Structure 1
Amino acid sequence: MAGNIMNRDSFLDHVAHKLQRTRKTATTKPVWKHNPQWNVLKDANQHELAAVLKKQCEVIHTQFLEVQANEVTDTMANILKSEQLKTVITYDDSRFLEYGFNANMRKKWEEDGISSYIWDHTKTAENIVAAEQADVGITISDMTLAESGTVLLFSNRNKGRSVSLLPKTFIAIVPQSTIVPRMTQAATAISKLVSEGQEIASCIDFITGPSNSADIELNLIVGVHGPIKATYILVKDK
């Protein structure tokens, strides 16, 4: 539901008066002589960006696997088995079907003693409980930053952010086509969507590996406010 802005002009006029200056009603974007933010990895292709992402995952304590699209389900089964993950939560996202996440796969999980839950926007409280109790949350990256090893998730009512935040383990399926060099390209792409009038998520999550926190002495603690382990499954382009 859209909100209403009340008394904006009178408030801004008052601030400008107190600052003893004329209130500006428009701004002009500056034109910078140098734009270093565009130079990092600007000529890298998707394979080179994938290599950068892989290397960065070593820095952010994230497991990195490379597979073909038809290998995703077997790879996922191996992870669940090796890590003894018994409860799974995923999104209501049609892209999962492209990687074999269907009724047959979930039936196979059940046979292996693994229960799964799909986020349902009509069940708010039940969703949160399922995410809290899940061993692993599985998502698909909407955009991936090679330089920092960051996955972007465009949250919406069918893609609750708790899926990536509350479980002990986080797995992101990363289509190779989603990789961009760095934050510069991601911000530009999001801005373009807005300027074109496209509907985008009210919350865009930037996730860089497992939860990390460090005190003033730089003592790193993993898992303070989120998953303690993360895995990226890079799905190679055909």
Structure 2
Amino acid sequence: MRGTIQNRDEFLSKVAGQLGQRSFTEGVERPKWKYQPQHAVLKDAGSDELLEILKMQCTKIHTDFFVSGKSGLMETLKTVVSNYGGGPILTWKDSRFDTIGLTPLFKQIWPEENVEINEWESSRGEENIELAEKANVGITISDITLAESGTAVLFSSKDRGRTVSFLPAKSVILIPKSTIVPRMTQATKIMREKVKNGEHVASCINFITGPSNSADIESRLVVGVHGPTKATYIVIEDL
């Protein structure tokens, strides 16, 4: 259901009046700045260089980092989850898992090995939250990945619950290599283009940079304050 904006024009007119300006409701053009340094950072970096930058950044944000081809992805993921202590596991309901060859692991191998694995299912309602709270590992897929900051951008939907990335004790984010861009500049451009082209854009977009952490006034780092205590990125090369 789409929401309704109430009293928008009146509100904007009042703000414009307080600023001593005329209110514009149409014909507004985006300003063209003479200098745009945000576009210069890493603008000539190729995909392999961006991969190395992302890898280096992960050492700074306390995130384990793996690179795998599609053929070795299943074993890499099994190793990561095993090192994290196994299940319970919670994943998105996402057709991309089938595309990258993980459906046999989720539907057959792990269940046969008595590893508990659940899939976010919108029809479950609040039960999804309970599954996320008890999960040891949450597995998601990055839609856009920022090399400069080591940030995974996740688009939520009814089948891709946002809590899968922050309620489980550990987080594993799969990163198709093609999603890696230099920085926030390119991510916002991608989202603007989607809106411009009439594509659906998630109402909830999460920017996740490694495991949950915070620092007090003395800069003493504490990990796991309000989310996963550990995080792993697995970059998938040959998609």
The TM tier, using the shorter chain, reads over 0.9
CA RMSD of aligned residues (A): 1.6
| Structure 1 residues 127 and 5: alpha-carbon distance in aligned structure 2, compared to 1, 3 A threshold | same
Task: Report the Cα distance in structure 1 between the residues aligned to 2:19 and 2:49, rounded to whole angstroms.
Answer: 51
Q: Tell me if structure 2 keeps the 8 A contact 1:170–1:227.
A: yes
Q: Is the 8 A contact 2:74 2:105 kept in 1?
A: no
Question: In the alignment, what sits opposite 2:229?
Answer: 228
- Segment of structure 1 superposing worse, 117-126 or 14-23: 14-23
Q: Identity of counterpart residues, as a percentage?
A: 47
Q: 1:118 & 1:151 partners in 2: Cα distance?
A: 21
Q: CA deviation at 1:217?
A: 2.0
Task: Name the TM-score, length of structure 2 as normaliser.
Answer: 0.94
Relative to structure 1, is the Cα distance of residues 15 and 31 closer, same or farther in structure 2, using a 3 angstrom cutoff?
Answer: closer
Distance 1:35 1:104, change over 3 A: closer
Is 1:165 aligned to 2:166, yes or no?
A: yes
Post-superposition Cα deviations, 1:74-129, rounded to whole Å, max 9, x if no partner, equal 11111222221221000111110123222465332123331100000111111000
AA partner of residue 185 (structure 1): Q
Corresponding position of 2:9:
9
Structure 2 unaligned segments of length 5 or more: list them: none
Give, as a single letter, the amino acid of the residue that structure 1 aligns with 2:44: D
3-state SS of 1:233 partner:
strand
2:154 corresponds to 1:144? no
> 1:66 Cα shift?
0.8
Aligned to 2:74: 73
The equivalent residue for 2:175 is: 174
Is contact 2:173-2:233 (8 Å) kept? yes
Q: Give the 3 Å change call, closer, same or farther, for CA 129–7 of structure 1 in structure 2.
A: same
Q: Residue 10 and residue 137 in structure 1: after superposition, are their counterparts in 2 closer, same or farther (change >3 A)?
A: same
Q: Is contact 2:68–2:235 with CA below 8 Å preserved after alignment? A: yes
Q: Which runs of 4+ in 1 moved over 6 A?
A: none
Equivalent residue pairs, number: 238
1:55 aligns with 2:56: yes
Q: Report the counterpart of residue 196 of structure 2 in structure 1.
A: 195
Q: What's the offset of the Cα at 1:18?
A: 4.1
In the alignment, is the contact (CA less than 8 A) between 1:177 and 1:237 conserved in 2? no
Deviation at 1:180, TM superposition (A): 0.4
> What SS does the aligned partner of 2:118 have?
strand
8 Å Cα contact 2:144-2:153 kept in structure 1? yes
CA distance in 1, matches of 2:95, 2:106: 15
**Other-structure match for 1:217:** 218
Shift of 1:54: 0.3
Structure-1 residue corresponding to 2:34: 33
Equivalent residue, structure 1, for 2:187: 186
> In the TM superposition, what is the alpha-carbon distance from 1:152 to its structure 2 partner?
0.7
Partners in 1 of 2:173 and 2:17 — Cα distance? 51
Cα deviation, residue 65, structure 1? 0.5
Instruction: Tell me: CA distance 1:192–1:83, structure 2 relative to 1, closer, same or farther (3 Å).
Output: same
Q: Please state whether the residue corresponding to 2:235 is helix, strand or coil.
A: strand
Shift in CA distance, 5/135, structure 1 to aligned 2, threshold 3 Å: same
Q: Is the 8 A contact 2:84 2:170 kept in 1?
A: no
Q: Note the C-alpha offset of 1:16.
A: 3.6
Flag structure 1 segments of 5+ consecutive residues without an equivalent. none
For residues 106 and 122 of structure 2, the distance between their equivalents in structure 1, rounded to whole angstroms, comes to 23
Asked if the contact 2:92/2:159 (under 8 Å) is kept, the reply is: yes
Q: Distance between the aligned counterparts of 1:112 and 1:205, measured in 2? A: 32
